[in-house]
Chain A
Amino acid sequence: MNNDLIIEGLTKQFVTSNSVAIADVNITVKEGTFTTLLGPSGCGKSTTLNCVAGLEQPTAGSIRVGDFVMTDTARDLILPPEQRHLGMVFQSYALWPHMKVFDNVAFALKLQKRPSDEIKQRVQESLALVGLEELADRYPFQLSGGQQQRVALARAVVSRPKVLLLDEPLSNLDAKIRESARIWLRGLQQQLGITTVYVTHDQSEAFAMSDMIAVMSMGKLQQYAPPEEIYERPANRFVAEFIGVTSFITGILQNVDGKKATLKLASGELLNIRKENKSDYVWKEGEQTAVAIRSERVEVLTEGASERENTVKAQITTRTYLGSKWQYTVETSGGSLRLESTDAIQGDSLFMYLPPDSIILLAG
């Protein structure tokens, strides 16, 4: 039986302000995979997650796991959270301070009125899974942040839910622990094979852990794709801007011919573009458009290479020393760009090379 998590047409509108928290979100999370909802704060990612958990009520849409329907506004069905059989880890971990670790993990099983032998065994299994079986008798305040986060995870999976929801569970950890926790969490998810929805605003977390990333902004789903595709083929200007360090160059499209085109800058300089890596943008001859390029794909050239294809001259406006590299802001006739180089560049101007297959044409 297929147990994909299917979110369809999810919309939440605030009655009072008439503003929209999320609008028509459609996401299918394949059984056993890891999907991240990624976006800036206020983009609707937490609202979406809370609607799945039943902690918030959408105004329209449906949510189901396989044929277990949890929300379907068309049928006036919104199950309360306690009837959804989900696991969830909260940003603050939300460990109940008056219960020992054991009781925190056992809570869901006690509510299900399981026999105490079974509860004991399953809590132990769950704690063993996160490597904390020795700490069952501690109170949450006696644990470190990392340990608390693991207890929260043990508590979330102890009743063997089919979907695990994670609301920025790593954001309260120290930067160093966070990276190892990321790897550990992804490993655990794969070991359990549990369908997981993860909310974060941290792109490196999203890229490191996810099978699929859903980029959200202003309550709308901007792109839902595997990490590589999100990075290489952003669907629109928001995704391109939000992910990575991206610059935009404005010019006029010329010589549109099958898989090739040329962008003419105001200075007359020409940039060749190849279509293989681009989004499904429709090319239009003579149209003024902005193309995107990742700053790490821009190559800074040594003097004299200006005759090469796709080379643009730029004025340096700011230079910042970052230790491992230099970061420059430069001004071209098509707009300003940010780029990085390990070289300390002398003088006020430089030449740079923009590889034709790294230039991204965007809709909107």
Chain B
Amino acid sequence: MTTVEQNLRPIATTRPKFSWDSGVQWLVVIVTALLVAFPAWPIILQSFMSKPLYEENRAFTFDNYTNLLGNARFWDVLVYTAAFAVATTIIAVIIGIVLAVIINRTNIPLRNLYSNLVTIPYYVSPLVLAFAWMQMYGPQGFGTILVRTLKLPIWQLYSFGGIVIVSAMYYIPYTFLYATSSLALADPQLESAARIGGASPFRTIWSVTIPLLRPAITYSALLTLVSSFELLSIPLVLGNSVGIDTLATYLYVIGVVGVNKDQGAVAAVAVLVVILVTGLVYMQSKLVSLERRFVTVGGKATRPKAIDLGGWKGIVSLFVGLYVLLGIILPLGCIVLTSFVPFLSPFMNPLKMLTLENYQGIFGSPAYRQSVVNSINISIFAAAIGIVFMAVAALIAYRSTFKYRNAVKYMALYPRAFPGIIVGIGFLWAFLLVPGLGSLRNTIIAISIAFIMRYLPLGFSAVSPAVLQVSDELDRAGRVAGATWLGTIRHILLPILKPALVSGYILLAISFLKEYSTALFLVAEGSRVIGTTMLELWKQGGAEPVAALSTIQMAITAVLIIGARKLMGVKLHE
């Protein structure tokens, strides 16, 4: 009975001064605070300074703000951005909901195929989507020329409407995925009750199914609103040549491209945008918690019977098919095809001109090749470090008695209010200002840190639901059995959370692969990534090398997704 004797050891009179548990907890809270504060302070400071931070004789001033607010161009851009974000949100949410209901609840042919295809834009960089639409439907696009030669009426993609439609295409999968998981959770008895009460299938969808989706609608609408507000790529690629600016492209133009870079103005815009987005994010969290009353988690295993559309089902399937074909398959197919030919034209058979020249051009250039290697390294290693850090942060927030656990949660979620381009500006200035850190810009370390900060909320929210689903009695049992907090995490929580961590890792890896806006300012000679190289090549006018890079990026993403599904049976998106 040695254990019993152990119990009788002398009484400990004080708490241990240091434990690994609290050491790790403090480390995570401090690193999180640093990650969030590091890019924020130079921007805030700069916005009140008369000259760039690295120059002498700068003075405190409000001029940056007063100049900006007196600038008619800024107000035009702001109004334009608001209109763009609202229009994009309305279209994306309506189409997303309609697709989710049709594909998940009706018996149209091919619905299983569609349910996979409509989510493709979720995994593709918006930059790639913009290039794809440009290649297909731009003024010199394959499809445009084809239609023009048929003497049919033609459209203008480089316009407000064009930008809104392409952006909506990018955001539709978000609504679709949220609505789909919400439909899967809804209690099918609610629909049955409506049918028994005398409602037709359509009436049931309209009066019961769609109202039950309200939390998903609210959530995805606000998510789309916030994201499109800060979206850079699509407005930049499609609007640049016709002088259309949103806040993100405006920042890009005055900060990166502009001849006289006015850092004070950039900082002031950045601060105002962060304040605006903070307001939106705050509204989102308030509205979402209000919508809780609609959540009907029945935990029912039974799936409701698909609603029979009768004679309509062929027509409806045809429309969904056209959407998938014209919106997703053709543009992306077009960009893949472009990458394998010297030029793409409806007047020459592309299959007779197939070539690997574009890829040879990419891999033959050390700088371009390096950007691909960098992107892959960041996806693999930075995402791995990131997901572990975010998982520990989530475990502290939801599974510890640490004093500042709520602070960890808020800090980890706050970067949602920072558009990528602003994160990039902040990190750039911070790296330049802190002595000794400037050289990191030439390595992928600086970009990796910025990406991890930018995607803290994504990783944190990807892991959190899984953490909350694990009964806390499991870790309590571990503690009582004699494990420390870290021991409980290592032996009990991490093994149980492994599937969630793997899917969070893949999600993060794909996001890092897609990310470009955070890197735009931060990028230096040795730290190019695929996205920044694509923009560089686009500015030089090379559609084919851009297409090759896009194809490479999509291929890597596909490998990641298929690998995750096949090897580990992991489902992505929450």
Interface residues of A (CB under 8 A from B): 1, 53-55, 57, 65-69, 75-88, 90-92, 94, 96-98, 107-108, 111-112, 155-156, 159-162, 165
CB of B12 within 8 A of CB of A107, answer: no
CB of A55 within 8 A of CB of B480, answer: yes
From B3, B4, B474, B487, contact of A82 by CB (8 A): B487
From A57, A79, A81, A85, contact of B12 by CB (8 A): A79
CB of B8 within 8 A of CB of A81, answer: no
Residues in B neighbouring A68, C-beta threshold 8 A: 7-9, 11
- Determine the residue in chain A with the shortest Cβ distance to B471: A92
From B6, B15, B474, B477, contact of A76 by CB (8 A): B15
CB of A108 within 8 A of CB of B481, answer: yes
CB of B477 within 8 A of CB of A88, answer: yes
| B443: interface (CB < 8 Å) | no
CB of B3 within 8 A of CB of A57, answer: no
| B483: interface (CB < 8 Å) | yes
* 5 pairs, A vs B, C-beta closer than 8 Å: A68-B8, A81-B479, A82-B483, A88-B477, A162-B7
CB of A82 within 8 A of CB of B479, answer: yes
- Determine the residue in chain A with the shortest Cβ distance to B13: A75
A79-B12, A82-B484 known; A159 vs B3 contact (CB < 8 Å): yes
Residues in B neighbouring A84, C-beta threshold 8 A: 480
CB of A111 within 8 A of CB of B483, answer: yes
- Report Cα–Cα, A161/B482, bound state, in Å: 11
Known: A77-B12, A88-B477. 11 other contacts (CB 8 A): A75-B14, A76-B15, A80-B479, A87-B480, A94-B471, A94-B473, A96-B492, A96-B496, A97-B474, A107-B483, A162-B4
A94-B476, A160-B3 known; A69 vs B11 contact (CB < 8 Å): yes
Shortest Cβ distance from A305 into chain B, in angstroms?
Answer: 56
Residues in A neighbouring B6, C-beta threshold 8 A: 85
A77-B15, A80-B484, A111-B483 known; A96 vs B7 contact (CB < 8 Å): no
- Determine the residue in chain B with the shortest Cβ distance to A50: B476
Shortest Cβ distance from A139 into chain B, in angstroms?
Answer: 13
- The size class of the interface chain B forms with chain A is 20 to 34
CB of B13 within 8 A of CB of A107, answer: no
Shortest Cβ distance from A312 into chain B, in angstroms?
Answer: 50
From A75, A90, A112, A159, contact of B476 by CB (8 A): A90
Residues in A neighbouring B401, C-beta threshold 8 A: 57
- Determine the residue in chain B with the shortest Cβ distance to A84: B480
CB of B481 within 8 A of CB of A77, answer: no
CB of A77 within 8 A of CB of B13, answer: yes
- Determine the residue in chain A with the shortest Cβ distance to B401: A57
Instruction: Encode contact with A along B461-481: 1 for CB under 8 Å, 0 otherwise.
Output: 000000000010110111111
A82-B482, A85-B3, A86-B480 known; A94 vs B474 contact (CB < 8 Å): yes
- Report Cα–Cα, A62/B75, bound state, in Å: 65
- Determine the residue in chain B with the shortest Cβ distance to A93: B473
CB of B473 within 8 A of CB of A91, answer: yes
- Report Cα–Cα, A162/B479, bound state, in Å: 16
- Determine the residue in chain B with the shortest Cβ distance to A107: B481
Residues in B neighbouring A160, C-beta threshold 8 A: 1, 3-4
CB of B482 within 8 A of CB of A108, answer: yes
Residues in B neighbouring A107, C-beta threshold 8 A: 478, 481, 483, 491
Quick one: which of B277-304 are within 8 Å of A by CB?
A: none
- A53, A82, A159, A162 — most chain B CB neighbours (10 Å): A82
- Determine the residue in chain B with the shortest Cβ distance to A87: B480
- Report Cα–Cα, A92/B469, bound state, in Å: 14
- Determine the residue in chain B with the shortest Cβ distance to A82: B482
CB of B7 within 8 A of CB of A98, answer: no
From A76, A90, A98, contact of B495 by CB (8 A): A98
CB of A81 within 8 A of CB of B4, answer: no
- Determine the residue in chain A with the shortest Cβ distance to B491: A107
CB of A111 within 8 A of CB of B13, answer: no
CB of B14 within 8 A of CB of A77, answer: yes
Residues in B neighbouring A97, C-beta threshold 8 A: 474, 496
Shortest Cβ distance from A223 into chain B, in angstroms?
Answer: 28
- Report Cα–Cα, A108/B492, bound state, in Å: 12
Shortest Cβ distance from A65 into chain B, in angstroms?
Answer: 7
From B7, B11, B13, B14, contact of A85 by CB (8 A): B7
CB of A53 within 8 A of CB of B480, answer: yes
- Report Cα–Cα, A86/B6, bound state, in Å: 12
CB of B482 within 8 A of CB of A65, answer: no
CB of A66 within 8 A of CB of B8, answer: yes
Quick one: which of B485-507 are within 8 Å of A by CB?
A: 485, 487, 491-492, 495-496
CB of A90 within 8 A of CB of B477, answer: yes
Instruction: Encode contact with A along B3-44: 1 for CB under 8 Å, 0 otherwise.
Output: 110111101111100000000000000000000000000000
CB of B15 within 8 A of CB of A78, answer: yes
- Determine the residue in chain A with the shortest Cβ distance to B475: A94
Residues in A neighbouring B476, C-beta threshold 8 A: 53, 55, 81, 88, 90, 94
- Report Cα–Cα, A313/B76, bound state, in Å: 88
Residues in A neighbouring B13, C-beta threshold 8 A: 75, 77
Residues in A neighbouring B487, C-beta threshold 8 A: 82, 111
Shortest Cβ distance from A7 into chain B, in angstroms?
Answer: 17
Residues in A neighbouring B3, C-beta threshold 8 A: 85, 112, 159-161
Shortest Cβ distance from B395 into chain A, in angstroms?
Answer: 16
Shortest Cβ distance from A172 into chain B, in angstroms?
Answer: 12
- Report Cα–Cα, A57/B4, bound state, in Å: 24
- Report Cα–Cα, A34/B12, bound state, in Å: 28
From A1, A65, A67, A81, contact of B480 by CB (8 A): A81
Residues in B neighbouring A87, C-beta threshold 8 A: 480
- Report Cα–Cα, A96/B470, bound state, in Å: 10
CB of A85 within 8 A of CB of B482, answer: yes
- Report Cα–Cα, A159/B6, bound state, in Å: 11
CB of B471 within 8 A of CB of A112, answer: no
- Report Cα–Cα, A156/B481, bound state, in Å: 8
